[in-house]
């Protein structure tokens, strides 16, 4: 296959929903760098936020999202998310998604910074997995959609000022091939693997953001990286996310002396927004000279915990910890990037032919700090909108006169990550561009990351180091603290000078764009 109507890169919630929309008017190729069902969506535990319960209102969901975003949400994007969300969740249920119910009715719970119980979950703590299952089942019934797994995308092809395709690794041969299409939709997910400590799977390396930037697209708000406050921190255990819903159900945070401490940092205590809880934990760890704090659920009913959080319960048991009896050691880790490829609410980038949706995109919907469980809803709503826009605007574009290229024979070292560069980038980002930032450390990191990007000997390694450099540059540029971006040397929020989105485009200086 060297030509199709539409290309979707990524098979999480945004990519699958976009593919279904595109298949209404053409052939669609979905490229993934790993298995078809391996994405950040698969690992989402907490749930999906939607204003569907009887005691909820869309206006309240909008207000909660705006409040969590620390003044930087684009309200028009937030209203699209919230107002169209119920439609797409209902559609998903019609397609077979099985959310948890009580007495036959959908069961809603609450998470941090939500004013109502509006979080739908599936199998307790496997919501993302259930959404992927139902979307994949529906997608596989669509004959116009073809999946190409283990086909890592290396670069976007731009001709005549338009994105016309991709370069990718043939999964069956050691060849770089080109595939052309009327439009390309990026749905490559997040970038948590940029950091040494992360909840994200191995595939979350931020390639889509870097590829779009290199191709000429604007990237925005990359300084806003959300660190999840409660990640398993037991010796020998993986950095496994312990869902926000645990605190929503009553879990308390305690220090090594057994004291609850969140009341000392925020009146909302454990239900404060994620950035506040993460920094509070970091401050308490520093104050008590410890490597973790404890998440305590032992006061809650044991059978309830086992039924409500089966996956988390079983994972902790695997490492000698019982949610119902033990306090669980936790500390923050990189989790979600609010910034990405700048788009409008239809998924359009500034580069014709290129669209983006999901975590790779930046619509302004999350502002400086994502409200818990808005990300799955974002993937559904904006994945569908990006697919619809690409279909409407690109159907008449012809590929007839585009140049053809022969496949390029390569070795594994030409496209696999350079492990030394990857490790160095991760350590730099964790130590110098992490939860708490300072000008001197940011400047030092920027110098080294610029060198690492320039010296990278293949495109995947260069993309990785380039994204780290872009995040660092944005963090250095924003001389205030807002949402997930905290500067120890500028620790106040400054709406007078900084109520703007950061914007970066290749060969242009970083600058601000007013929020909508």
Q: Catalytic residue numbers? A: 274
Angstrom CA distances, 40 to 321, 361, 498, stand at 25, 14, 31
201: phi then psi, degrees, rounded to nearest 5 = -70, 170
Distance of alpha carbon 360 from alpha carbon 432, whole angstroms: 23
Q: Which of 131, 135, 129, 162 is nearest to 23 (CA)?
A: 135
Distance of alpha carbon 450 from alpha carbon 437, whole angstroms: 18
Strand intervals (E) in 132-224: 145-148, 153-159, 162-169, 175-180, 183-186, 219-220
90: phi then psi, degrees, rounded to nearest 5 = -60, -40
Distance of alpha carbon 65 from alpha carbon 7, whole angstroms: 31
Distance of alpha carbon 355 from alpha carbon 346, whole angstroms: 8
Distance of alpha carbon 150 from alpha carbon 164, whole angstroms: 21
478: phi then psi, degrees, rounded to nearest 5 = -80, 100
Q: Give the Cβ contact number of residue 424 at 10 Å.
A: 16
Distance of alpha carbon 372 from alpha carbon 272, whole angstroms: 11
Q: Which two three-digit tokens encode residue 197? A: 């400590």
Angle at 358 between CA 356 and CA 359, to 5 degrees: 105
């Amino acid at each position: 296959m060297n030509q199709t109507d539409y290309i979707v890169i990524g098979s999480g919630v945004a990519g699958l929903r976009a593919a279904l929309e595109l298949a209404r008017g053409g052939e669609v190729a979905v490229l993934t760098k790993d298995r078809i069902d391996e994405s950040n969506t698969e690992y989402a535990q907490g749930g999906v936020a939607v204003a569907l319960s009887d005691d909820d209102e869309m206006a309240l969901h909008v207000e909660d999202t705006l409040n969590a975003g620390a003044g930087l949400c684009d309200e028009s994007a937030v209203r699209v998310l919230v107002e169209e969300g119920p439609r797409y969740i209902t559609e998903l249920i019609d397609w077979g998604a099985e959310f948890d119910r009580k007495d036959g009715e959908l069961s809603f719970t609450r998470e941090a910074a939500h004013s109502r119980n509006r979080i739908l979950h599936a199998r307790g703590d496997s919501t993302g997995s259930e959404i992927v299952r139902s979307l994949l089942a529906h997608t596989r019934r669509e004959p116009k959609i073809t999946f190409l797994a283990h086909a890592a995308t290396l670069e976007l092809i731009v001709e005549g000022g338009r994105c016309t395709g991709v370069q990718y690794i043939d999964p069956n041969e050691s060849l770089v091939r080109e595939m052309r299409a009327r439009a390309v939709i990026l749905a490559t997910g997040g970038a948590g693997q940029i950091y040494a400590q992360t909840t994200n799977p191995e595939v979350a390396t931020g390639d889509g953001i870097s590829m779009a930037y290199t191709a000429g697209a604007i990237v925005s708000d990359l300084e806003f990286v959300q660190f999840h406050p409660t990640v398993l921190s037991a010796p020998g255990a993986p950095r496994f996310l312990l869902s926000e819903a645990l605190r929503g159900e009553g879990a308390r945070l305690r220090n090594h002396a057994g004291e609850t401490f969140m009341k000392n940092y925020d009146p909302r205590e454990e239900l404060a927004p994620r950035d506040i809880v993460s920094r509070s934990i970091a401050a308490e760890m520093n104050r008590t000279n410890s490597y973790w704090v404890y998440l305590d659920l032992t006061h809650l009913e044991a059978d309830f915990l086992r039924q409500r959080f089966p996956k988390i319960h079983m994972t902790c048991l695997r490492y000698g910890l019982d949610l119902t009896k033990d306090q669980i050691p936790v500390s923050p880790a990189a989790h979600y990037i609010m910034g990405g490829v700048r788009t409008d609410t239809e998924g359009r980038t500034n580069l014709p032919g290129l669209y983006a949706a999901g975590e790779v995109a930046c619509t302004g919907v999350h502002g400086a700090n994502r409200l818990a469980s808005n990300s799955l809803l974002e993937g559904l709503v904006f994945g569908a909108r990006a697919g619809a826009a690409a279909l409407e605007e690109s159907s008449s574009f012809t590929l007839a006169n585009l140049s053809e290229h022969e496949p390029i024979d390569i070795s594994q070292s030409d496209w696999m990550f350079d492990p030394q560069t990857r490790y160095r980038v991760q350590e730099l980002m964790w130590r110098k561009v992490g939860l708490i930032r300072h000008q001197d450390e940011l400047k030092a990191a920027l110098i080294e990351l610029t060198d690492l990007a320039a010296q990278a000997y293949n495109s995947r390694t260069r993309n990785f180091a380039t994204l780290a450099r872009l995040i660092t540059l944005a963090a250095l540029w924003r001389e205030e603290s807002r949402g997930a971006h905290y500067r120890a040397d500028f620790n106040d929020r400054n709406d007078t000078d900084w109520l703007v989105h950061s914007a970066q485009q290749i060969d242009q200086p970083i600058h601000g764009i007013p929020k909508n």
